[in-house]
Structure formats: structure tokens, C-alpha cells
Amino acid sequence: MSLTAPHLVTEIPGPKSKALFAKEQEHLAPGLQGFALSSGIAVERAQGSVIEDVDGNRFVDLIGGIGVNALGHCHPAYTRAMHAQLDKATVGSFTSAPRAQLMHEVAEVAPKGVDRLQLYSGGAEAVESAFRLAKNYTGKHEVVGFWGGFHGKTMGTLSVNAAGNAKTYGPVPPGHKLMFANCYRCPLKLEYPTCGIACADVAAEQLRQSTTGSVAAVIMEPLQGTAGNVIPPPEFMQRAQGIAKEHGALFIADEMITGFGRTGRWFASERSGVTPDLITLGKAFGGGFPISGVLAKQEIAQAKPWSNPSGSSSSYGGNPLAATAALASIQTLKAENILANVRTVGAAMLAEIKTWKETIRWVGDARGEGLFLAVELVADRKTKEPLAKKVCDEIFQECLKRGLLSMSYAPAIRLQPALTIDQQTALTGLGLLREAIAAVAHRHGAG
């Protein structure tokens, strides 16, 4: 039986959700993802882009695990493969048939020549490994990121994190953060394309001024997720790669969110015609299973000691179950031509959210590429002052009441549903989001 949404049978959260949430809260440390805490729901089961809570309420899921849920919840091909592997072998780093096949499936879609893959469990772990490899290969030690960039919460990644709490942890490894092309909020107050991507000139100069002459790597999200699904002009990535070249550093594309079809291409670097030296993979890669990876050019992957036995390994990386998850995920993306769905449904969603500007005063910008979209809410279109967080929280609650899970608790509402979402479910979800924004705007006299 296929689950449909919205379908609401209790107040949200319902009594069973409340009881489970309270039980967990007795010992759960604070700091869980905001939307899980604010929703207060406990999940019973999920299918495709629908989540059912323990009270029987069903929600359209436009969060998609923040880009993790590539195939939709519990895709039959995925669960079949996982069930079968669970009964065979799950632990250890010996070669397995799924892992051997996975290497080939990834190489088939990766940028030409970037086809040496090492596997890990979490995104930040893969970024750390990419930094270690870059340091080994170049013999240098500085790393460089961009304003708004997010690459994880570990000590090494904090040195290039412009989003998050890096400043509260004291000294972190040496890192630089350069100006990024956030065109809606252009730091230079210019307009694309007449700007000539001036922000890239500033970024290049920033690094010249601040480096000690030992840059190992420049890392960039081709499209920035955590910053609010920000989409730079394609040329910006070419310029960023130029900065890496100028300093004899490796160029890393962090495709954790944008890889494996999110933008309608296998990797978002393709939109810029850029072949990175290293690519970090995660999230959608395992279709929900915690598996991540570093893809490297052949020659770079030989750098020592990264390439020595046990030099780049980890306890769980590429175990037979993780490899099966990633294999099932990539094979299903290919077999069901899911990238075509991303392009079609993404275009329909973009067309819909672009109309909101006409009727909702708070909508400052609506943008998207494939199923990577954002609606940016502002208190004032002229000043672009972001809508207050507590007003966004009201929108989130209004969405919940209507049977929608979305990232509407922040002024830049990020939309990245499962890559398999069908057009009707996607537009139903957007309809609920629009209603919720309009209801809160009306309450605040902005309707």
C-alpha cells in the first residue's frame, strides 16, 4: 500500500509522539537538528516522500534528510538489497562484491580521471581525509574555503567553516575564508553579469594578502547548501579553481549535497565545466546509509603516507553493508533515470515558487537548480533584511499543522526533497508551504 499525504488525525504532535519525545528527552543531549526538535513528532514509517508519525499522521517530506534521502524513504530496490546483504556479511574492510562493483559504478559517472575512491562514514570525515591527502600531496598546510561555506563540524573542517560556531573553539588549523558569489546578497552590491564576477577578484586578492605561502587546498561547495541553497554563477567555480592553481594547491569540490543527481547532473561541478582534483561525497551517496567518500585523481591518490596501508582507512568505511547501500542507490538512480525526474520536477517547483513574489510580500528571492531550491523570505524587499527567526518558526508550525515537513524555520527556506519525488506530491507540498507563509503573513499584517 502506498502512503499518501497530507493526512492528519490528531493535533501535531499527537499524544504518542509527545510521550516518546518526552521519554527520549530525559537522556538525550541537547543539540539535535532543529527541525526534529521543533516538530516533536516520532516517526513510525516512511515511504517515498511521505513520513508517518506514531499517531498515524502523514506528512509530505520536503526536507529529505537535508539532501540525504536520494531514493525516497524505503525504496524497494534499496531495502531488497540491504535485506539480502544483512544475511551475508556486514562488517570489515575485506574486498566484497558490492564494493568492487561500487568502484566501477562511481567511476562511470565521476568526472574523467577523478576515479580513485576511498570510503568513510560521515561527511566531515571525508573532508578531513581530503585535507590530509592535499597536505601529503602538496607538502603544504593551509586550507581555504569561502564565505557561507559549510564542510562539517570537526576541528579540521572548522578552519574553513563560515557557517556555524568555529569561533567558539579557539585555535583551529590554519584556514582562510574568501568572498563567495552570493548574488542575491552581493557583498559588492553589484549585478550579475555586468559585475564581471568581481567577487572572484576580491577573493583572489584576499588570499594573496593573507597566505603564508603554503596553501594545500581550496575547497568549495559548487552550490552552497547550509548558507541557504545559494547558487553562484557557473563561472565562479572556474575562478575559484584558478585561485587554487595560482597557489599550487589542490581544488576540492565538496559535492556532499550537490552530488549524485541533486541538480539534475551527476555532479554540480559539471555546470561550471570544472574537473576538481578531489571530490568529497556523502549524503545522497548512500541513499540514507552513513557512507561518504573521497574521489581523487589517480596520481594524487598515490601521495604518502595517505596511500600507505591503513593510511587513509577507517573502521567502518566501505564495509559490505555500506557498500551495498551506495551500490543500490547509484544503480537505482541509473536504472530508473531519476536524474530526468530531478530536472522535470525541479523545473515545475521552480516555476511555482517564482510566482510567489507576485502575491507574497515577504518573498525576496526564489531560485533553484534541479531539486536544490530556495525561497528567501525578507522583512523588506529593498533592504533585504531577513525575516525574523521567530516569525519563521511560526511558519514551520503552520506547515506542520497542514501536514508538511519543510525547512521553513529559517528565512532562506531550503527545499531538497527526495530525487524520486513525483510532481504532484512536490506541488502539493509547495501548496501547503505557500498557504503557511500566507497565513503567518496575514497574522503579521503583511498579507
Ligand X SMILES: Cc1ncc(COP(=O)(O)O)c(C=O)c1O
Give 406's Cβ-side CA count (13 Å radius).
Answer: 35
Q: Output the smallest distance, CB 282 to ligand X, in A.
A: 5
User: In this complex, which beta carbon is closest to ligand X, that of residue 55 or of residue 254?
Assistant: 254
| Element of type H or E holding 357 | helix 338-359
Torsion of CA 37, 40, 41, 42, to 10 degrees: 70
> All 3 cell numbers of residue 207?
588570499
Peptide bond preceding 222: is omega within 30 degrees of 0, i.e. cis?
no
Task: Say if CB 85 and CB 31 are below 8 A apart.
Answer: no
Task: Say if CB 280 and CB 292 are below 8 A apart.
Answer: yes
Q: Output the smallest distance, CB 258 to ligand X, in A.
A: 8
User: In this complex, which beta carbon is closest to ligand X, that of residue 47 or of residue 118?
Assistant: 118
User: In this complex, which beta carbon is closest to ligand X, that of residue 152 or of residue 293?
Assistant: 152
User: In this complex, which beta carbon is closest to ligand X, that of residue 81 or of residue 281?
Assistant: 281
Q: Output the smallest distance, CB 232 to ligand X, in A.
A: 14
User: In this complex, which beta carbon is closest to ligand X, that of residue 278 or of residue 437?
Assistant: 278
User: In this complex, which beta carbon is closest to ligand X, that of residue 226 or of residue 428?
Assistant: 226
> All 3 cell numbers of residue 394?
511560526
Q: What CA–CA distances, in Å, run from 30 to 1, 56, 153, 206?
A: 37, 27, 16, 37
Q: Output the smallest distance, CB 152 to ligand X, in A.
A: 4
Q: Output the smallest distance, CB 177 to ligand X, in A.
A: 15
Output 245-249 pairs: Cβ under 8 A, ≥24 positions apart.
246/204, 247/207, 247/211, 247/215, 247/218, 248/138, 248/140, 248/215, 249/134, 249/138, 249/140, 249/144, 249/215, 249/216, 249/217, 249/218
User: In this complex, which beta carbon is closest to ligand X, that of residue 163 or of residue 360?
Assistant: 163
Q: Output the smallest distance, CB 366 to ligand X, in A.
A: 21
User: In this complex, which beta carbon is closest to ligand X, that of residue 150 or of residue 356?
Assistant: 150
User: In this complex, which beta carbon is closest to ligand X, that of residue 156 or of residue 282?
Assistant: 282
Name the β-bridge partners of 404: 60
DSSP result, 370-424: TTEEEEEEEEETTTTEEPPHHHHHHHHHHHHHHTEE-BTTSSEEEE---TT--HH
3-class SS at 445? coil
Q: Output the smallest distance, CB 157 to ligand X, in A.
A: 7
Q: Output the smallest distance, CB 278 to ligand X, in A.
A: 13
User: In this complex, which beta carbon is closest to ligand X, that of residue 160 or of residue 353?
Assistant: 160
Task: Enumerate binding residues for ligand X (CB under 6 A).
Answer: 122-124, 127, 150-152, 221, 225-226, 254, 256-257, 282
Per-residue b or e along 18-32, where b marks 16 or more CB atoms closer than 10 Å to that residue's CB:
bebbeeeeeeeeeee
Q: Output the smallest distance, CB 190 to ligand X, in A.
A: 26
Closest alpha carbon to 345 in 375, 374, 372? 372
Per-residue b or e along 361-370, where b marks 16 or more CB atoms closer than 10 Å to that residue's CB:
ebbbbbbbbb
Q: Output the smallest distance, CB 92 to ligand X, in A.
A: 22
Nearest residue to ligand X on Cβ basis: 123
